[in-house]
Amino acid sequence: MGNISRRQFNRRLSQGIAGSALFSSVPLACAMAGTKSREESLGIALVGLGSYSTYQLAPALQDTKFCHLAGIVTGTKAKERIWAERYGIPAGNIYNYQNFDTIADNDDIDVVYVVLPNSMHAEFSIRAAQAGKHVICEKPMAVTVAECDAIIEACRKAGVKLGIGYRLHSEPYTQEVKRFVREKTFGKTAYVNAEAAYRSAGNPDQWRLNKALSGGGALMNMGVYSIQSTIYATGENPVKVTAQEFSTRPDYFKDTDETVTAQFQFPGGATGTVFTSHNANANSLYASCTGGWFSLKPANNYGPLAGESSNGPIQFKHESQQKLQMDDFASHILYGSVNRAPGEMGKRDMIIIEAIYRSISEGNRSVPLELGNMGLV
């Protein structure tokens, strides 16, 4: 890496001041050939070693091209040894929530990936940015719009990149839907219906059912997928939303929303309906357009997804969505490729979520939204 450290190199890249001489020192051909040198593979530290980190992100990081699992941050002592042994993580790259900030001194870690309960996203994303690390923050980005603003500002101030864990933007079925809309393959979208739901019957004390930790129920957890679907199936942000909440198991869903439906109006004239629930299974996207239709079913699980359109089946080879997502973000940092899920996208979705909760709490009235092109990628 010559006479500058990897950390200086990555920071300069993120600030866009690396210069052509430095860019040419990145052996891209080597990456293309599937081999990695330390300079072209960013070190990721996962914060929170729960189900998503354990079963999706860490395995995916074994196959990524432009990043690798370099460190962990956990509040559970027993996990330190298990993860160290499984993934060969050196003791110096293992942190807990208290000493996390000293990650600033660790050149092996370029990116911190926050995979904690929703109410902890803001604190750890901000601490990661202040430590000079690029940040991936899981969805939903935070539990309020104000927290989203604070994360964006901390990353801006530190000169680090920020991505949201919206894996679908890196997978080919979703990208195909976005292409249909961009190229008007089926004309203009007139109506879109999106569903994202699963039936929860597990431990009633889990954090997802505890508003202080989750910020909300089905809408926060699954609703973001259906909101996102309506946006990429129209290519626009909604200008108005009306919403309803349904509760059939109040003994189980004591603290958080069970089922939410919402209706959107889009500036180009399309209407959209959204269903999200922790009490039923649903996973689809359907769009009716002026010259045909397209649909994905399933539309938002880990894949393989499946799709159809008025032109016939939509088919792509399945790859780990998490692998694609993390490589996209690393490539954004290293090579300046597009950030497929920037912080503004997470903030926009939180504005919509807050508007939906407002509509519900104010007697299902229609709530106007002034989003412009915020978060449209």
Report which residue's Cβ sits closest to ligand NAD: 50
- The full DSSP string for 136-200 is EEPSS--SSHHHHHHHHHHHHHHT--EEE--GGGGSHHHHHHHHHHHHTBTBSEEEEEEEEEEE-
**Would you say 36 or 297 has its CB closer to ligand NAD?**
297
C-beta of 136: minimal distance to ligand NAD in Å? 10
Catalytic residue among 95, 113, 133, 139: 139
C-beta of 179: minimal distance to ligand NAD in Å? 22
C-beta of 29: minimal distance to ligand NAD in Å? 32
List the beta bridge partners of residue 110: none
**Would you say 18 or 324 has its CB closer to ligand NAD?**
324
With a CB cutoff of 8 Å and minimum separation 6, the contacts of 71 are 43, 44, 45, 46, 89, 93, 94, 95, 103, 106, 108, 109
Q: Which of 34, 197, 210 is nearest to 117 (CA)?
A: 210
In the three-class reduction of DSSP (H, G, I as helix; E, B as strand; rest coil), residue 337 is classed as: coil
Rg (CA), the chain: 21
Strands 271-277 and 42-47: unpaired
**Would you say 111 or 270 has its CB closer to ligand NAD?**
111
Give the footprint of ligand NAD on this chain (CB under 6 A).
48-53, 75-76, 115-118, 138-139, 165, 167, 207, 213, 221
- Using alpha carbons, list the distances in angstroms from residue 114 to 45, 53, 107, 124, 214: 9, 10, 18, 7, 14
C-beta of 51: minimal distance to ligand NAD in Å? 3
The Cα–Cα gap between 349 and 375 comes to 9
C-beta of 326: minimal distance to ligand NAD in Å? 11
Inter-residue contact 194 to 284 (CB < 8 Å)? yes
**Would you say 198 or 207 has its CB closer to ligand NAD?**
207
Inter-residue contact 129 to 151 (CB < 8 Å)? yes
Active site annotation includes 335 = no
Inter-residue contact 262 to 183 (CB < 8 Å)? no
C-beta of 213: minimal distance to ligand NAD in Å? 6
**Would you say 125 or 263 has its CB closer to ligand NAD?**
125
- Using alpha carbons, list the distances in angstroms from residue 325 to 73, 146, 213, 332: 21, 26, 25, 11
Active site annotation includes 225 = yes
Q: Which of 279, 278, 296 is nearest to 287 (CA)?
A: 296
The Cα–Cα gap between 91 and 229 comes to 42
**Would you say 13 or 151 has its CB closer to ligand NAD?**
151
Q: Terminal CA-to-CA distance of the chain, rounded, Å?
A: 33
Residue matched to tokens 């439906």: 261
The Cα–Cα gap between 182 and 189 comes to 11
Catalytic residue among 95, 113, 166, 225: 225
**Would you say 29 or 78 has its CB closer to ligand NAD?**
78
C-beta of 359: minimal distance to ligand NAD in Å? 23
Which positions are catalytic?
139, 225
